[in-house]
Amino acid sequence: MRFEFEDRYHQVHEIKRKFAIKDKTWKSWIYPSIKGKNKKKNEVDVREMGLRKIPGSNYYVVDPHKFQDWFLNLIGVPDEE
């Protein structure tokens, strides 16, 4: 199932609410563990997720279409055509 989004960037809390993602999970994606062997395994490229940092601030916005594609790929849902 794919969500319909307005043609704009969304705030992180909007995406987390829409996809039912908890804060702990989100943080583990953005700030992966740096312990030993799992460092490379847990790394996530935030650009692939659709995250964009607003220059001059500590805030991020999310491209919902890129995030949805990344998320569906992560959970293993085949692409619907």
Q: What is the pLDDT of residues 3-62, one digit of tens each?
A: 999 999 999 999 999 999 999 999 888 876 666 555 555 566 778 889 998 999 988 999
pLDDT for position 76: 86
User: What is the Cα–Cα distance from 43 to 15, expressed in whole angstroms?
Assistant: 20
pLDDT for position 30: 83
User: For residues 63 and 29, which has the higher predicted lDDT (pLDDT)?
Assistant: 63
pLDDT for position 80: 63
pLDDT exceeds cutoff 80 at 78: no
pTM for the full predicted model: 0.78
